[in-house]
Structure 1
Amino acid sequence: MDANFSDLKVMIIDDSKTIRRTTETLLAKAGCTVITAIDGFDALAKIADTKPDIIFVDIMMPRLDGYQTCALIKNNSEFKDTPVIMLSSKDGLFDKAKGRIVGSDQYLTKPFSKNELLDAIQTHVANEAVD
Structure 2
Amino acid sequence: MTQSVLVVDDEPNIVLSLEFLMKQAGFDVRVARDGEAALKAVEESAPDVVLLDVMMPKRDGYDVCQAIRANPAWNGVRIIMLTAKGREIEKEKGLALGADDYITKPFSTREVVDRVKSHMKPQGSA
Given the two structures, how large is their TM-score scaled by the length of structure 2? Answer: 0.92
Percent of matched pairs sharing the same residue: 35
Structure 2 residue runs without a partner (length 5+): none
Following superposition, the deviation at residue 130 of structure 1 comes to 6.9
2:86 is aligned with 1:91:
yes
AA paired with 2:12?
A: K
- How many pairs were matched up? 125
2:122 is aligned with 1:121:
no
Could you tell me which of 5, 14, 20 is aligned with 2:9?
Answer: 14
2:80 is aligned with 1:112:
no
In 1: Cα distance, 2:110 partner to 2:50 partner: 16
The answer as to whether partners of 2:2 and 2:28 remain within 8 angstroms in 1 is yes
The answer as to whether partners of 2:10 and 2:34 remain within 8 angstroms in 1 is yes
Equivalence map 1:57-68=2 (5 Å): 57-68=52-63
The answer as to whether partners of 1:10 and 1:54 remain within 8 angstroms in 2 is yes
SS at match of 1:129: coil
In 2: Cα distance, 1:122 partner to 1:31 partner: 10
Which string of whole-angstrom CA distances, capped at 9 and with x for unpartnered residues, describes residues 37-66 of structure 1? 001100111112222110010001122000
AA paired with 1:13?
A: V
SS at match of 1:81: coil
Moved over 2 A (4+): 128-131
Could you tell me which of 33, 37, 42 is aligned with 1:42?
Answer: 37
